[in-house]
């Protein structure tokens, strides 16, 4: 298993023919962020590998997640009557979130600047982005948290899925059209949330208890923005791009079945994880929300990474992801009735298995593509260049 090769010879051949194609029409990105990133990237030395920038940004997102998990493990820290997260933590999280967003914006520019753009770089970038979704959403949750002034853990679970499906929608587009249409919601959300973290440090979490407009609370605004962006921006634009490709006869998959295959595993993951929540004898989501979110987000990231490999190599997306098998068995076991401590143990075991499996997948894929393209993933030095 240690030397298992996830990328098939057919896919490696597809990567050889791959050409990057992306469209960014977001005004915030085009007129503000790109000029800013063009300035920032000049500060980086030309020997710095783009993938190292990408990975550094991802580690900042993970650090924010762990930092907030320490100060707000059960999402009650922002509720009235509970010990709140220290103000300095919000400042640190806000700054690091914007830094991570900036690094995610300059890695590609560094690649073009150093003439080191490769399919591996794009896969590495988008693969880590798929895992960052859960870290980002769960960290943001601590602003409002649970309790009478917050958002229930089940509502946050549904909001997490809105974000996850919005993310995979872009890669579904590319799987079918060959073009990555960069979503508008990403840039807006990153800039807004970075600002909100800093504001929280200044005004305190108590400020979010007050109505935003009439009886419309800030938590309701938070929920409405996520759902509204998905339903009225991301989804319509994705369908429009798909329809345009259909009208121009440039779709890569002609049948409806083949076009929709990338959604099979994510939908089954949603069904199984939701069934677990609803059938749970110990109310597992209320008991371990952070771990449950992480388990779902990690499985989703693995599914998405396999889709990205297929879209870049112009190969067929697998119908089902094998990680769904142990999840299915756990859900069936839970439905039969297990003790509370056993259900919690199953969640922790499954989360560990998913995490190790996803890391193994990522490491092996990076090694395979590095060997195939004869490059070092975190260095601009060429193998056997001495």
pLDDT of residue 384: 67
pLDDT digits (tens, 9 = 90+) for 284-308: 999 999 999 999 999 999 999 999 9
Is the Cβ–Cβ distance between 353 and 302 less than 8 Å?
no
Q: Nearest Cα to 350, choosing from 296, 314, 303, 280? A: 296
**How high is the pLDDT of residue 362?**
97
3-state SS, one letter per residue, for 172-204: HHHHHHCCEECCHHHHHHHHHHHHHHHHHHHHC
- Contact between 201 and 288 (Cβ < 8 Å): no
310 CB neighbour count, 10 Å cutoff: 19
State the catalytic residue, choosing from 34, 82, 84, 126.
126
Distance CA(44)–CA(59), nearest Å, equals 18
What is the Cα–Cα distance from 163 to 278, expressed in whole angstroms?
Answer: 21
CA–CA separation, 277 and 50 (whole Å): 40
Of 89, 86, 85, 87, nearest to 72 by C-alpha is: 85
What global pTM score does this model have? 0.95
Active site residue 34: no
CA dist 81 and 106 (Å) reads: 42
Q: With contact defined as beta carbons under 8 Å apart, do 275 and 331 qualify? A: yes
- Please name the residues in contact with 303: beta carbons below 8 A apart, sequence gap of 6 or more: 168, 265, 266, 269, 321, 323
Name the residue among 159, 3, 174, 141 with its Cα closest to residue 72. 141
In 3D space, the residue among 156, 161, 375 whose CA is nearest the CA of residue 272 turns out to be 161
Q: Residue 179's closest CA among 188, 187, 170, 167?
A: 170
pLDDT at residue 254, rounded to an integer: 84
Q: By the 8 A CB rule, do 83 and 66 touch?
A: no
Q: Which residues partner with 23 through β-bridges?
A: 181
Separation CA 336–CA 342 (nearest Å): 12
Q: What is the pLDDT of residues 124-142, one digit of tens each?
A: 999 999 999 999 999 999 9
Cβ count within 10 A of residue 112: 11
- List of the chain residues with pLDDT < 50: 386
Spatial CB neighbours of 357, under 8 Å, sequence gap ≥ 6: 302, 323
Q: Tell me how crowded residue 82 is: count the other CB atoms within 10 A of its CB.
A: 16
* pLDDT on residue 147: 84
């Amino acid at each position: 298993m240690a030397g298992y090769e996830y990328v098939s010879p057919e896919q490696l051949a597809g990567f050889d023919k791959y050409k990057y194609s992306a469209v960014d029409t977001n005004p915030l990105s085009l007129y503000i962020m790109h000029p800013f990133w063009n300035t920032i990237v000049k500060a980086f030395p030309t020997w710095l590998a783009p993938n190292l920038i990408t990975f550094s940004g991802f580690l900042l997102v993970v650090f924010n997640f762990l930092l907030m998990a320490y100060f707000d493990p059960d999402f009650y820290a922002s509720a009235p009557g509970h010990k709140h997260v220290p103000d300095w933590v919000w400042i640190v999280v806000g700054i690091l979130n914007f830094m991570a967003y900036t690094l995610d914006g300059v890695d590609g520019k560094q690649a073009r600047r150093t003439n080191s753009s490769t399919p591996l770089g794009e896969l590495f970038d988008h693969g880590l982005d798929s895992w960052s979704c859960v870290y980002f959403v769960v960290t943001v949750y601590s602003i409002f948290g649970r309790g009478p002034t917050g958002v229930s853990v089940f509502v946050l679970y549904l909001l997490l899925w809105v974000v996850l499906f919005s993310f995979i929608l872009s890669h579904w587009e590319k799987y079918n059209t060959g073009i990555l249409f960069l979503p508008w919601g990403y840039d807006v959300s990153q800039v807004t949330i970075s600002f909100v973290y800093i504001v929280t440090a200044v005004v305190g979490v108590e400020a979010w208890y007050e109505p935003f407009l009439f009886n419309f609370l800030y938590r309701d605004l938070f929920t409405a923005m996520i759902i509204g962006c998905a339903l009225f921006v991301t989804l319509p634009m994705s369908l429009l791009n798909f329809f345009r490709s259909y009208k121009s006869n440039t779709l890569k998959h002609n049948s409806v079945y083949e076009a929709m295959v990338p959604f099979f595993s994510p939908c089954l993951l949603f069904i199984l994880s939701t069934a677990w929540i609803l059938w749970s004898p110990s109310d597992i989501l209320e008991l371990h929300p952070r771990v449950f979110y992480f388990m779902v987000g990690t499985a989703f990231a693995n599914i998405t990474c396999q889709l990205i490999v297929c879209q870049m190599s112009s190969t067929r997306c697998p119908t089902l992801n094998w990680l769904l098998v142990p999840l299915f068995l756990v859900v069936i076991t839970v439905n039969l009735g297990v003790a509370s401590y056993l259900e919690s143990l199953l969640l922790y075991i499954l989360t560990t298995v998913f995490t190790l499996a996803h890391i193994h997948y990522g490491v092996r894929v990076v090694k395979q593509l590095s060997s195939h393209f004869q490059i070092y993933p975190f260095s601009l030095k060429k193998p056997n260049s001495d």
